Amino acid sequence: MRFSGQKVLVTGAASGIGKAQAQAFRNDGAEVVAVDIHEADGIVKCDVSDPIQVKQMVNFVGEIDILCNTAGILDGYKTLDTTDYRLWKKVLETNLDSIYLTCSGFLPQMKKRGSGVIINMASVAGLGTGGGGLVYTTSKHAIVGFTKQLASDEARHGIQVLAIAPGAIKTPMTASDFDNDEKVAKKVAADIPSKRWSDPEEVAELTLFLASPAAKYMSGAVIPIDGGWSLGHMNY
């Protein structure tokens, strides 16, 4: 058991990638705090875009060893002319502000202890364009920058900060792509070199590797898990 004696907090843990991460850590011996805005069995309910709720959650949870910032929402692939301010604000608060808030809450204890791992959920949309709508792509590029700068600032304190950039993952958030004889899903798969979608469990396995001693010399890395999609879509 690689994570026996370690405490892991996962946001967005009621479904999809977050749920798979939480289960994978449990299976590998960790004590897991599963956090989500939606109520469910075994879930600590918290809106991680709300500063007051996050502060209360941090006080309730106490010390953790590993923080997985996985909560996020899509934007319907909207362009600027169809993105109103309400949607802009909602996506940025959920995808980006939440990471700032949880990291701000748990970082002091990690620095005091001299150890900790933070894994942020970016996206292939944060590595170029074409992986999402305007505000979603904006949020994920910001997460990439946040991850790199925080890693640079905190490596001297023994804290690793990393990010995962998933591509096409079959989750409840992407379920509509599989409607109507899976036409959208098939089109997406055809644009991926590996010609398939992934599942949350594959992302969870990558998460466990990054959180394990095997990756202890990694810092600031943003790891795509996308079947090769970003090879033809990165803009720099």
Residues 6+ apart with CB under 8 A from 113: 63, 158
Q: Are 24 and 206 in contact (CB under 8 A)?
A: no
pLDDT, position 227: 85
Tell if the pTM clears 0.85, that is, is over it.
yes
pLDDT, average across residues 40-66: 98
Q: How much is the pLDDT for 118?
A: 99
How many H-runs (helices) and E-runs (strands) does the chain carry? 7, 7
Q: Does residue 11 carry a pLDDT above 60?
A: yes
Which of 77, 85, 100, 136 is labelled catalytic?
136
Intra-chain end-to-end CA distance of the chain, in Å:
39
Assign 32 a pLDDT band (cuts: 50, 70, 90).
Answer: very high
CATH numeric code, 7-225: 3.40.50.720
As a whole number of angstroms, the distance between CA 204 and CA 35 comes to: 16
Q: What is the pLDDT of residue 172?
A: 73
Closest alpha carbon to 233 in 191, 180, 174, 183:
191
User: What are the boundaries of each domain within the chain?
Assistant: 7-225
* 136 a catalytic residue: yes
163-193 per-position pLDDT tens digit: 999 988 887 777 666 766 666 777 777 777 7
